[in-house]
Amino acid sequence: MNPLRSLILAAAGNHTIRRVVAGAPVSRDVVRRFVAGETTADAVAVTSKLVASGLTVTLDYLGEDTTDAALAEQTVHAYLELLDALEAQGLAERAEVSVKLSAVGQLLDERLALENAGRICAAAQRCGTTVTLDMEDHTTTDSTLRVLAQLRESWPWVGAVLQAYLRRTRDDCARLSGPGSRVRLCKGAYAEPPDVAFADAHEVDLSYVRCALALLSGDGYPMFATHDPRLVRLIGERAAAFEHKPGSFEFQMLYGVRPEEQLRLAQLGHTVRVYVPYGGEWYGYLMRRLAERPSNTGFFLRSLATRG
Ligand code: FDA
Protein backbone atom coordinates (compact mmCIF):
# COMPACT_ATOMS: atom_id res chain seq x y z
CA MET A 1 0.00 0.00 0.00
CA ASN A 2 1.16 3.55 -0.79
CA PRO A 3 2.94 4.86 2.40
CA LEU A 4 0.99 8.16 2.43
CA ARG A 5 -2.26 6.20 2.16
CA SER A 6 -1.23 4.01 5.13
CA LEU A 7 -0.31 7.12 7.13
CA ILE A 8 -3.66 8.82 6.46
CA LEU A 9 -5.59 5.63 7.27
CA ALA A 10 -3.62 5.32 10.54
CA ALA A 11 -4.55 8.95 11.33
CA ALA A 12 -8.20 8.06 10.67
CA GLY A 13 -8.10 5.72 13.67
CA ASN A 14 -5.95 7.90 15.95
CA HIS A 15 -7.96 9.59 18.70
CA THR A 16 -5.48 12.43 19.36
CA ILE A 17 -5.25 13.40 15.68
CA ARG A 18 -9.04 13.10 15.45
CA ARG A 19 -9.46 15.58 18.32
CA VAL A 20 -7.06 18.12 16.80
CA VAL A 21 -8.39 17.90 13.23
CA ALA A 22 -12.10 17.58 14.04
CA GLY A 23 -11.86 20.48 16.50
CA ALA A 24 -10.01 22.83 14.13
CA PRO A 25 -12.12 25.48 12.43
CA VAL A 26 -11.69 23.85 9.05
CA SER A 27 -13.21 25.68 6.14
CA ARG A 28 -16.76 24.46 5.66
CA ASP A 29 -15.91 24.15 1.98
CA VAL A 30 -13.33 21.41 2.59
CA VAL A 31 -15.77 19.18 4.44
CA ARG A 32 -18.76 20.24 2.33
CA ARG A 33 -17.05 18.97 -0.78
CA PHE A 34 -17.70 15.40 0.42
CA VAL A 35 -20.36 15.80 3.15
CA ALA A 36 -23.89 17.19 2.63
CA GLY A 37 -24.01 19.03 5.97
CA GLU A 38 -24.83 18.27 9.58
CA THR A 39 -28.64 18.13 9.70
CA THR A 40 -31.51 16.14 8.21
CA ALA A 41 -32.58 19.30 6.37
CA ASP A 42 -29.09 19.59 4.78
CA ALA A 43 -29.24 15.94 3.70
CA VAL A 44 -32.71 16.33 2.20
CA ALA A 45 -31.74 19.55 0.38
CA VAL A 46 -28.73 17.88 -1.29
CA THR A 47 -30.83 14.80 -2.11
CA SER A 48 -33.49 16.98 -3.77
CA LYS A 49 -30.90 18.61 -6.02
CA LEU A 50 -29.31 15.31 -7.02
CA VAL A 51 -32.67 13.70 -7.72
CA ALA A 52 -33.75 16.73 -9.77
CA SER A 53 -30.65 16.24 -11.93
CA GLY A 54 -31.61 12.63 -12.74
CA LEU A 55 -29.55 10.81 -10.09
CA THR A 56 -30.61 8.48 -7.28
CA VAL A 57 -29.17 8.67 -3.76
CA THR A 58 -28.16 6.60 -0.74
CA LEU A 59 -27.75 8.55 2.50
CA ASP A 60 -25.32 7.74 5.31
CA TYR A 61 -25.73 9.31 8.75
CA LEU A 62 -22.06 9.64 9.70
CA GLY A 63 -20.77 7.78 12.73
CA GLU A 64 -18.97 4.49 13.34
CA ASP A 65 -17.37 2.36 16.06
CA THR A 66 -19.98 3.35 18.64
CA THR A 67 -19.34 1.82 22.06
CA ASP A 68 -22.24 3.58 23.75
CA ALA A 69 -25.81 2.24 23.46
CA ALA A 70 -27.24 5.77 23.84
CA LEU A 71 -25.24 6.95 20.81
CA ALA A 72 -26.42 3.91 18.84
CA GLU A 73 -30.00 4.87 19.75
CA GLN A 74 -29.36 8.45 18.61
CA THR A 75 -28.17 7.11 15.25
CA VAL A 76 -31.34 5.02 14.85
CA HIS A 77 -33.42 8.14 15.58
CA ALA A 78 -31.46 10.14 12.99
CA TYR A 79 -32.29 7.50 10.36
CA LEU A 80 -35.97 7.38 11.36
CA GLU A 81 -36.21 11.17 11.13
CA LEU A 82 -34.44 11.12 7.76
CA LEU A 83 -36.73 8.43 6.33
CA ASP A 84 -39.81 10.39 7.41
CA ALA A 85 -38.39 13.53 5.80
CA LEU A 86 -37.60 11.70 2.54
CA GLU A 87 -41.14 10.34 2.41
CA ALA A 88 -42.66 13.75 3.22
CA GLN A 89 -40.66 15.37 0.39
CA GLY A 90 -41.62 12.64 -2.09
CA LEU A 91 -38.00 11.50 -2.37
CA ALA A 92 -38.21 7.98 -0.91
CA GLU A 93 -38.60 6.32 -4.29
CA ARG A 94 -35.24 7.73 -5.48
CA ALA A 95 -33.32 7.81 -2.17
CA GLU A 96 -32.46 4.94 0.19
CA VAL A 97 -30.18 4.76 3.26
CA SER A 98 -26.81 3.13 3.97
CA VAL A 99 -26.15 1.96 7.53
CA LYS A 100 -22.89 1.06 9.28
CA LEU A 101 -23.67 -1.65 11.82
CA SER A 102 -20.86 -0.36 14.07
CA ALA A 103 -22.85 2.88 14.40
CA VAL A 104 -25.90 1.04 15.71
CA GLY A 105 -24.22 -1.16 18.31
CA GLN A 106 -22.28 -3.97 16.54
CA LEU A 107 -19.23 -3.49 18.76
CA LEU A 108 -21.38 -3.76 21.89
CA ASP A 109 -23.51 -6.72 20.91
CA GLU A 110 -24.43 -8.12 17.49
CA ARG A 111 -28.03 -8.65 18.65
CA LEU A 112 -28.36 -4.94 19.48
CA ALA A 113 -27.10 -4.04 15.98
CA LEU A 114 -29.59 -6.51 14.46
CA GLU A 115 -32.47 -5.06 16.45
CA ASN A 116 -31.51 -1.44 15.63
CA ALA A 117 -30.92 -2.15 11.95
CA GLY A 118 -34.31 -3.94 11.92
CA ARG A 119 -36.02 -0.78 13.20
CA ILE A 120 -34.45 1.19 10.34
CA CYS A 121 -35.50 -1.48 7.81
CA ALA A 122 -39.09 -1.45 9.09
CA ALA A 123 -39.22 2.34 8.71
CA ALA A 124 -37.67 2.14 5.23
CA GLN A 125 -40.30 -0.39 4.17
CA ARG A 126 -43.06 1.87 5.49
CA CYS A 127 -41.65 4.80 3.50
CA GLY A 128 -41.20 2.76 0.31
CA THR A 129 -37.43 2.62 0.16
CA THR A 130 -34.50 0.29 0.96
CA VAL A 131 -31.46 -0.08 3.22
CA THR A 132 -27.93 -1.18 2.35
CA LEU A 133 -25.49 -2.30 5.06
CA ASP A 134 -22.08 -0.69 4.61
CA MET A 135 -19.06 -2.97 5.10
CA GLU A 136 -16.35 -1.97 7.55
CA ASP A 137 -12.96 -3.55 8.34
CA HIS A 138 -12.51 -7.30 7.81
CA THR A 139 -12.98 -8.18 11.50
CA THR A 140 -16.67 -7.27 11.06
CA THR A 141 -17.37 -9.04 7.73
CA ASP A 142 -18.76 -12.31 9.13
CA SER A 143 -20.87 -10.52 11.71
CA THR A 144 -22.27 -8.10 9.09
CA LEU A 145 -23.15 -10.93 6.71
CA ARG A 146 -24.85 -12.82 9.58
CA VAL A 147 -26.95 -9.75 10.41
CA LEU A 148 -27.71 -9.28 6.69
CA ALA A 149 -29.02 -12.86 6.42
CA GLN A 150 -31.28 -12.35 9.45
CA LEU A 151 -32.60 -9.00 8.20
CA ARG A 152 -33.32 -10.47 4.78
CA GLU A 153 -35.70 -12.99 6.35
CA SER A 154 -38.09 -10.09 7.02
CA TRP A 155 -36.88 -7.56 4.41
CA PRO A 156 -35.47 -9.51 1.44
CA TRP A 157 -34.43 -6.27 -0.28
CA VAL A 158 -31.74 -5.37 2.30
CA GLY A 159 -28.47 -4.77 0.44
CA ALA A 160 -24.88 -5.61 1.37
CA VAL A 161 -21.51 -4.16 0.44
CA LEU A 162 -18.67 -6.47 -0.57
CA GLN A 163 -15.07 -5.26 -0.85
CA ALA A 164 -13.00 -6.52 -3.81
CA TYR A 165 -9.72 -6.09 -1.91
CA LEU A 166 -10.64 -8.98 0.42
CA ARG A 167 -9.42 -12.37 -0.80
CA ARG A 168 -12.72 -13.99 0.27
CA THR A 169 -14.97 -11.67 -1.75
CA ARG A 170 -15.18 -13.59 -5.04
CA ASP A 171 -16.80 -16.45 -3.08
CA ASP A 172 -19.05 -14.06 -1.13
CA CYS A 173 -20.21 -12.58 -4.47
CA ALA A 174 -21.12 -16.01 -5.77
CA ARG A 175 -23.01 -16.78 -2.54
CA LEU A 176 -24.88 -13.47 -2.63
CA SER A 177 -25.80 -13.33 -6.31
CA GLY A 178 -29.14 -15.13 -6.00
CA PRO A 179 -32.57 -13.76 -6.96
CA GLY A 180 -33.53 -10.54 -5.16
CA SER A 181 -30.06 -10.02 -3.70
CA ARG A 182 -28.71 -6.45 -3.82
CA VAL A 183 -24.92 -6.26 -3.63
CA ARG A 184 -22.81 -3.11 -3.79
CA LEU A 185 -19.31 -3.96 -4.95
CA CYS A 186 -16.53 -1.54 -3.97
CA LYS A 187 -12.74 -1.83 -3.81
CA GLY A 188 -12.55 -1.36 -0.02
CA ALA A 189 -11.36 1.57 2.07
CA TYR A 190 -9.72 0.22 5.26
CA ALA A 191 -6.09 -0.64 6.08
CA GLU A 192 -6.10 -4.45 5.96
CA PRO A 193 -3.37 -7.08 6.55
CA PRO A 194 -2.02 -8.94 3.47
CA ASP A 195 -3.26 -12.34 4.63
CA VAL A 196 -6.87 -11.19 4.17
CA ALA A 197 -6.59 -8.49 1.49
CA PHE A 198 -4.73 -7.83 -1.75
CA ALA A 199 -2.29 -4.97 -1.15
CA ASP A 200 -1.37 -4.26 -4.75
CA ALA A 201 -3.74 -1.88 -6.56
CA HIS A 202 -3.59 -3.94 -9.78
CA GLU A 203 -4.52 -7.11 -7.89
CA VAL A 204 -7.47 -5.27 -6.32
CA ASP A 205 -8.62 -4.17 -9.80
CA LEU A 206 -8.38 -7.75 -11.12
CA SER A 207 -10.35 -8.98 -8.12
CA TYR A 208 -12.97 -6.27 -8.77
CA VAL A 209 -13.40 -7.58 -12.33
CA ARG A 210 -13.73 -11.21 -11.15
CA CYS A 211 -16.29 -10.19 -8.52
CA ALA A 212 -18.20 -8.00 -11.00
CA LEU A 213 -18.46 -10.91 -13.43
CA ALA A 214 -19.73 -13.18 -10.63
CA LEU A 215 -22.46 -10.64 -9.83
CA LEU A 216 -23.36 -9.93 -13.46
CA SER A 217 -23.73 -13.65 -14.19
CA GLY A 218 -25.99 -14.13 -11.15
CA ASP A 219 -29.67 -13.35 -10.63
CA GLY A 220 -29.36 -10.46 -8.18
CA TYR A 221 -29.20 -6.69 -8.62
CA PRO A 222 -25.52 -5.63 -8.77
CA MET A 223 -24.50 -2.12 -7.72
CA PHE A 224 -21.05 -1.13 -8.94
CA ALA A 225 -19.51 1.44 -6.61
CA THR A 226 -16.38 2.81 -8.25
CA HIS A 227 -15.03 6.00 -9.80
CA ASP A 228 -12.47 4.07 -11.80
CA PRO A 229 -13.00 4.96 -15.48
CA ARG A 230 -11.55 1.65 -16.70
CA LEU A 231 -13.85 -0.38 -14.46
CA VAL A 232 -16.90 1.71 -15.36
CA ARG A 233 -16.20 1.14 -19.06
CA LEU A 234 -15.54 -2.58 -18.63
CA ILE A 235 -18.68 -3.11 -16.53
CA GLY A 236 -20.77 -1.26 -19.14
CA GLU A 237 -19.38 -3.60 -21.84
CA ARG A 238 -19.75 -6.80 -19.81
CA ALA A 239 -23.25 -5.87 -18.66
CA ALA A 240 -24.25 -5.49 -22.31
CA ALA A 241 -22.65 -8.87 -23.10
CA PHE A 242 -24.69 -10.47 -20.29
CA GLU A 243 -27.76 -8.72 -21.78
CA HIS A 244 -28.28 -6.67 -18.65
CA LYS A 245 -30.44 -3.71 -19.62
CA PRO A 246 -29.93 -0.34 -17.87
CA GLY A 247 -32.14 -0.62 -14.78
CA SER A 248 -31.05 -4.19 -13.97
CA PHE A 249 -27.84 -2.97 -12.34
CA GLU A 250 -26.52 0.41 -11.23
CA PHE A 251 -23.40 2.52 -10.91
CA GLN A 252 -22.68 4.24 -7.61
CA MET A 253 -20.26 7.03 -6.75
CA LEU A 254 -19.53 9.19 -3.73
CA TYR A 255 -20.91 12.70 -3.29
CA GLY A 256 -18.30 15.16 -4.52
CA VAL A 257 -16.31 12.64 -6.57
CA ARG A 258 -16.51 12.81 -10.40
CA PRO A 259 -19.90 14.60 -10.43
CA GLU A 260 -19.75 15.17 -14.21
CA GLU A 261 -19.26 11.44 -14.79
CA GLN A 262 -22.29 10.72 -12.59
CA LEU A 263 -24.42 12.93 -14.82
CA ARG A 264 -22.91 11.57 -18.03
CA LEU A 265 -23.76 7.97 -17.07
CA ALA A 266 -27.28 8.97 -16.03
CA GLN A 267 -27.78 10.74 -19.36
CA LEU A 268 -26.81 7.50 -21.11
CA GLY A 269 -29.79 5.88 -19.34
CA HIS A 270 -27.96 4.17 -16.47
CA THR A 271 -29.21 4.25 -12.90
CA VAL A 272 -26.55 6.21 -10.98
CA ARG A 273 -26.73 6.40 -7.20
CA VAL A 274 -24.76 8.98 -5.24
CA TYR A 275 -23.64 8.06 -1.72
CA VAL A 276 -24.35 11.15 0.38
CA PRO A 277 -22.94 11.30 3.93
CA TYR A 278 -24.19 13.86 6.45
CA GLY A 279 -23.91 14.54 10.18
CA GLY A 280 -21.27 15.89 12.55
CA GLU A 281 -19.05 12.77 12.68
CA TRP A 282 -17.28 13.41 9.38
CA TYR A 283 -13.67 12.81 10.46
CA GLY A 284 -13.20 9.05 9.73
CA TYR A 285 -15.12 9.32 6.46
CA LEU A 286 -13.13 12.32 5.24
CA MET A 287 -9.80 10.69 6.14
CA ARG A 288 -10.67 7.60 4.06
CA ARG A 289 -11.51 9.87 1.09
CA LEU A 290 -8.16 11.67 1.46
CA ALA A 291 -6.32 8.33 1.68
CA GLU A 292 -7.83 7.32 -1.68
CA ARG A 293 -6.50 10.43 -3.33
CA PRO A 294 -3.46 11.68 -1.43
CA SER A 295 -3.24 14.61 -3.90
CA ASN A 296 -6.24 16.10 -2.04
CA THR A 297 -4.36 15.97 1.25
CA GLY A 298 -2.17 19.04 0.61
CA PHE A 299 -5.29 21.08 -0.07
CA PHE A 300 -6.85 19.84 3.18
CA LEU A 301 -3.71 20.42 5.31
CA ARG A 302 -3.23 23.92 3.86
CA SER A 303 -6.79 24.73 4.78
CA LEU A 304 -6.22 23.48 8.35
CA ALA A 305 -3.03 25.53 8.64
CA THR A 306 -4.58 28.74 7.35
CA ARG A 307 -7.82 28.49 9.33
CA GLY A 308 -6.62 26.65 12.43
P1 FDA B 1 -9.61 4.25 -6.85
O2 FDA B 1 -9.62 5.05 -5.59
O3 FDA B 1 -8.58 3.20 -7.04
O4 FDA B 1 -9.58 5.25 -8.05
C5 FDA B 1 -9.52 4.74 -9.38
C6 FDA B 1 -9.62 5.88 -10.36
O7 FDA B 1 -10.88 6.55 -10.19
C8 FDA B 1 -8.59 6.96 -10.19
O9 FDA B 1 -7.38 6.58 -10.80
C10 FDA B 1 -9.29 8.12 -10.89
O11 FDA B 1 -9.20 7.97 -12.28
C12 FDA B 1 -10.72 7.93 -10.46
N13 FDA B 1 -10.96 8.71 -9.23
C14 FDA B 1 -10.99 8.23 -7.96
N15 FDA B 1 -11.24 9.23 -7.09
C16 FDA B 1 -11.33 10.36 -7.82
C17 FDA B 1 -11.53 11.73 -7.49
N18 FDA B 1 -11.67 12.14 -6.23
N19 FDA B 1 -11.59 12.62 -8.50
C20 FDA B 1 -11.42 12.22 -9.79
N21 FDA B 1 -11.21 10.93 -10.15
C22 FDA B 1 -11.15 10.02 -9.19
N23 FDA B 1 -15.66 1.16 1.10
C24 FDA B 1 -15.77 0.26 2.11
O25 FDA B 1 -14.74 -0.27 2.56
N26 FDA B 1 -17.00 -0.04 2.62
C27 FDA B 1 -18.15 0.48 2.13
O28 FDA B 1 -19.24 0.17 2.62
C29 FDA B 1 -18.05 1.40 1.05
N30 FDA B 1 -19.17 1.97 0.51
C31 FDA B 1 -19.05 2.70 -0.64
C32 FDA B 1 -20.18 3.14 -1.31
C33 FDA B 1 -20.05 3.82 -2.52
C34 FDA B 1 -21.29 4.23 -3.25
C35 FDA B 1 -18.77 4.09 -3.06
C36 FDA B 1 -18.60 4.78 -4.39
C37 FDA B 1 -17.64 3.69 -2.39
C38 FDA B 1 -17.77 3.02 -1.17
N39 FDA B 1 -16.64 2.61 -0.48
C40 FDA B 1 -16.77 1.73 0.56
C41 FDA B 1 -15.30 3.16 -0.83
C42 FDA B 1 -14.56 2.26 -1.81
O43 FDA B 1 -14.16 1.07 -1.16
C44 FDA B 1 -13.30 2.93 -2.35
O45 FDA B 1 -12.44 3.21 -1.29
C46 FDA B 1 -13.57 4.20 -3.13
O47 FDA B 1 -14.72 4.09 -3.90
C48 FDA B 1 -12.42 4.51 -4.07
O49 FDA B 1 -12.23 3.44 -4.96
P50 FDA B 1 -12.46 3.56 -6.55
O51 FDA B 1 -13.14 2.30 -6.98
O52 FDA B 1 -13.14 4.79 -6.90
O53 FDA B 1 -11.01 3.47 -7.13
Q: Residue 165 belongs to a domain with what CATH number?
A: 3.20.20.220
Same domain? 183 vs 306: no
pLDDT band at 114 (very low <50, low <70, confident <90, very high): very high
* Mean pLDDT of the region 200-209: 98
The confidence score (pLDDT) of residue 19 equals 63
Mean pLDDT of 102-112: 96
Q: Which of 20, 34, 29 is nearest to 258 (CA)?
A: 34
What SS3 string covers the chain? Answer: CCHHHHHHHHHHCCHHHHHHHHHCCCCHHHHHCCCCCCCHHHHHHHHHHHHHCCCEEEEEECCCCCCCHHHHHHHHHHHHHHHHHHHHCCCCCCEEEEECHHHCCCCCCHHHHHHHHHHHHHHHHHHCCCEEECCCCHHHHHHHHHHHHHHHHHCCCCEEEEECCECCHHHHHHHCCCCCCEEEEECCCCCCCCCCECCCHHHHHHHHHHHHHHHHCCCCEEEEECCCHHHHHHHHHHHHHCCCCCCCCEEEEECCCCHHHHHHHHHCCCEEEEEEEECCCCHHHHHHHHHHCCHHHHHHHHHHHHHC
Mean pLDDT for 37-60 is 97
**One-letter amino acid identity for 94?**
R
Answer whether residue 15 shows pLDDT above 60. yes
Residue 134 alpha carbon, nearest atom of ligand 1? 28
What lies within 8 Å, CB to CB, of 182 at 6+ separation is: 130, 132, 157, 158, 159, 160, 220, 221, 223
Residue 308: pLDDT band (50, 70, 90) is: very low
Q: Which atom of ligand 1 is nearest to the CA of 58?
A: 34
Question: Relative to the CA of 188, which ligand 1 atom is closest?
Answer: 43
Specify the residue with its C-alpha closest to ligand 1, atom 17.
257
Q: Which residue has the higher pLDDT, 215 or 8?
A: 215
Give the residue-averaged pLDDT of 32-46: 94
- Over range 8-16, report the average pLDDT: 69
Note the pLDDT of residue 119.
Answer: 98
Annotated catalytic residue, options 184, 273, 288, 289: 184
Span from the CA of 189 to the centroid of ligand 1 (angstroms): 8
Q: Same domain for 129 and 141?
A: yes
Tell me: do 18 and 68 sit in the same domain: no
Mean pLDDT for all residues in the chain: 91
- Residue range of the domain that includes 71: 38-279
Residue 26 predicted with pLDDT over 60: no
Rounded Cα gap, residues 184 and 182, in angstroms: 7
Mean per-residue pLDDT for 120-130?
Answer: 98
In a shared domain, residues 299 and 274 = no
Asked if 1 and 47 sit in the same domain, the reply is no
Backbone angles phi, psi at 33, to 5 degrees: -65, -35
Mark whether 268 and 306 lie in a shared domain. no
Q: Mutation test of ligand 1: which of 58, 96, 186 has the most ligand atoms closer than 8 Å to its C-beta?
A: 186
**Pairwise CA distance, residues 297 & 138, whole Å:** 26
Distance 69 CA to ligand 1 centre (A): 31
The residue among 61, 70, 158 whose CA lies nearest residue 118 is 158
Q: What is the pLDDT of residues 138-153, one digit of tens each?
A: 999 999 999 999 999 9
147 and 293 in a single domain? The answer is no
Residues 171, 85 share a domain: yes
Catalytic residue among 134, 137, 172, 205: 134
Cα 189 from Cα 205, distance rounded (Å): 13
Active site residue 184: yes
| Interatomic CA distance for residues 103 and 107, integer angstroms | 9
Q: What is the arithmetic mean of pLDDT over 160-177?
A: 97
Q: Are residues 106 and 185 in the same domain?
A: yes
* Confidence at residue 305, expressed as pLDDT on a 0 to 100 scale: 58
**pLDDT of the residue at 1:** 63
What is the atom index within ligand 1 of the atom nearest the CA of 256?
18
Mean pLDDT throughout 212-216? Answer: 97
Q: What per-residue confidence (pLDDT) applies to 32?
A: 84
209-227 average pLDDT score = 97
Query: What is the reported pLDDT for 266?
Result: 97
Residue range 181-187: average pLDDT?
98
Cα atoms in the 13 Å half-sphere on the side-chain side of 145:
17
Query: Residues 144, 127: one domain?
Result: yes
Give the C-alpha separation, 105 to 70, whole Å.
9
Quick one: average pLDDT of 182-196? 96
Total number of domains in the chain = 2
Per-residue pLDDT, 229? 97
Half-sphere exposure of 39 (CA within 13 A, CB side): 3
Give the confidence band of 298 by pLDDT, cuts at 50, 70, 90: low
Same domain? 208 vs 266: yes
What is the average pLDDT across 119-135?
98
Interval 173-201 mean pLDDT: 96
pLDDT of residue 121 exceeding 90:
yes
Domain co-membership, 30 together with 76: no
Query: What residues are in contact with ligand 1 under a 6 Å CB criterion?
Result: 134-135, 161, 163, 184, 186-190, 225-229, 252-254, 257-258, 275, 292-293
User: For ligand 1, atom 14, which residue shows the shortest CA distance?
Assistant: 227
Task: Answer yes or no: 134 catalytic.
Answer: yes
